[in-house]
Structure 1
Amino acid sequence: MIVRPTDMEQTLDLPPGYTLVALRELGDAFAHAREIAAEAEAGTLVWVRRYDLVEFAVVLEPDEPLRSARRAFFAGMNALGDAIAAHCPPEREVTFDWPDAIRFDAGLLGGARLGWPAECTEDDIPAWLVFGVILRAADMAHVPEVQAASGVSLLSEGFEMVDTDAIIESFTRHLMTAFDRWKERGFEAIARDYLERLPKRKAGERRGIDVNGDLLVSMPAGSGTPERSSLKDALGRAAWYDPQARGPKFG
């Protein structure tokens, strides 16, 4: 069920250019955003109001072919990382697992997904993209204690309850900044910001993000072709996401 923000006790303070669509607790922000994306305007933000998860999705309107438009995912990840870092306790680290998982002090906090029209080819400009986020806000009562101990939640890591909504509000502002940065300085600026939060697997390795969003990794002394990790394939797996629990995995 959709709820008008005026019907709710609390809403979000979003900057100009965003339109809020609020769902009841059992709603699915990512699925709903994809359902309405064809008719919705860019900047439509679908939010599920629940205490145990921070769950939202935003509709984007790309202006380049799908093959390269997927790179908008990295702008979203940067905005999410910056939003969490702005509200977290001091001297705590926000990092990424390639390409879509969010870790806080090394524990899996959640992740992001990207959706696009099923009929869109790699060479077509998609009518829309949807960037969806789920973060674990609080320990989940139905999860066994031993399993829950391997997870990380915002509240268990020192965030305040008011921070959960503030993170979404902060994300919307950081996302606008990220796209402005892309426009002014090119995608390389977005790639650098993203890679700063992606831990290196080996000392001295060199990383870059290709025009199609793939991760390229090479060693300084290497003369061969860089190792390539497909963004499209990784987004399809969403390794951080548990579809049965409809939330982040533990561990």
Structure 2
Amino acid sequence: MPVHAAPPGLERGLDLPSLYTAVRLRERGDAFAHACAIAAEAGAGTFVHVGRFDLLEFAVVLEPEEPLGRARRAFFAGMAAIADAVAAHCPPEKGLAFAWPDAIRFDGALVGGGRLGWPEGCPEDAVPDWLVFGGILVAARVRIGDPGFHVDSTSLEEEGFGTPEEVIGSFARHLMVHVDAWGERGFDPVAEAYLARLEREKAGDTRGIDVNGDLLIRHHGERGPVRRVPLLPALQVPGWLDPATGGVRL
């Protein structure tokens, strides 16, 4: 799933690798929606981000090479890249984990999430013209009163992270690493990177990701069929996303 250079003429803002072209939106913009809207014309490698102080909001256009049902696994490459970026700029004594499939928790508190978009009406067995992976991280919690009463969420500011530009740029570079690994060695390295941070239901569980992105779980010591947790319904309604604000549930 290459990340190709996008057409010239788009706005450049962040310090991104040369394979990306940045598009910066004003504070009220929606990076994910905008990336989906321009994906067909702007092309792969287009990197949309929003200039606001309370959220790190970004989305990147990808060019899939597989049918949609399999190509959705690009979501896991995006999630692994966000985790790598966050881990590179966070205090080392605190852990980062995924709550299946799309919520990102830092030291047990919700700090953001990822999502995936694709062309409306694209059949599962057809190669889509584009995919869009989008992510949102809480940069600063505002208008919530005393943060001590909202222990289920946190922000990069409260946790002592680096600058927003550093985190977003790191995500872009880590995404290239995971996409390249997928192309060279197959999907297994991407799955391993994602599953290593996925919260476990029980110690000793054996987990895997099927070709369509579903989570496969076998509990330690149990017999019988592997339990399947579907990916698609969760991507259609991200549990971490607050529909009222367009941001992370606080």
Q: Which of the five TM-score ranges fits, normalised by the shorter chain?
A: over 0.9
- 2:218 paired residue number: 218
Q: Structure 2 residue aligned with 1:159, among 139, 158, 161?
A: 161
CA distance in 2, matches of 1:120, 1:150: 37
- TM-score with structure 1 setting the length: 0.92
- Tell me, in whole angstroms, the C-alpha distance in 2 between the residues paired with 1:120 and 1:99: 22
Write the distance in 2 (CA, Å) between the matches of 1:69 and 1:169. Answer: 24
Q: Please give the alpha-carbon distance, in whole angstroms, between the structure 2 residues aligned to 1:237 and 1:107.
A: 20
3-state SS of paired residue (1:37): helix
Note the 1:84-103 alignment, pairs <5 A. Answer: 84-103=86-105
Distance 2:39 2:248 in 1: 24
Distance in 1 between the 2:66 and 2:153 partners?
Answer: 38
Partner residue in 1 for 2:27: 25
> Deviation digits for residues 71-90 of structure 1, max 9, x if unmatched?
00000011110001001112
Distance 1:16 1:51 in 2: 25
Match of 1:229 in 2: 229
- CA positional deviation for 1:149: 4.6
Residue matched to 1:207: 207
The letter of the residue matching 2:237 is R
Matched residue type, 2:130 = W
Measure the CA separation in 2 of the matches of 1:211 and 1:86: 29
Judge conservation of contact 2:11–2:21 (CA < 8 Å) in 1: no
Task: Give the Cα separation in 2 of the matches to 1:211 and 1:153.
Answer: 34
8 Å CA contact retained: 1:92, 1:105:
yes
Partner of 1:81: 83
| Counterpart in the other structure of 1:190 | 190
Measure how far apart 1:145 and its partner are.
Answer: 3.1
Q: 1:111 is matched with which residue?
A: 113
CA deviation map 1:176-234 (0-9, x unaligned): 00011112221111111111001211122110000000000012433311111111011
Q: Residues 27 and 52 of structure 2 are in contact (CA less than 8 Å); yes or no, is this contact kept in structure 1?
A: yes
Query: For the aligned residues, what is the CA RMSD?
Result: 1.4
Which TM-score applies when normalising by structure 2?
0.92
Q: Which runs of 5+ in 2 are unaligned?
A: 1-9
CA contact (8 A) 1:139 1:148 kept: no
Q: How does 1:32-71 map to 2 (within 5 A)?
A: 32-71=34-73
Paired letter, 2:62? L
8 A contact 2:67–2:126 mirrored in 1: yes
The answer to whether the 8 A contact 1:115-1:130 is kept is yes
Give the partner amino acid of 1:228: R
Query: Which runs of no fewer than 5 residues in structure 1 stay unpaired?
Result: none
CA distance in 2, matches of 1:127, 1:248: 29
Q: 1:197 aligns to what SS in structure 2?
A: coil
Q: Which residue does 1:145 correspond to in 2? A: 146
Aligned partner of 1:16 in structure 2 is: 18
How far does the alpha carbon of each residue in 1:112-166 deviate from its partner, in whole angstroms, 9 at most, with x for none?
A: 11000011011010100000111100121x2343654542000001114x2x111
Residues 205 and 247 (structure 1), Cα distance of their counterparts in 2 relative to 1, 3 Å cut: same
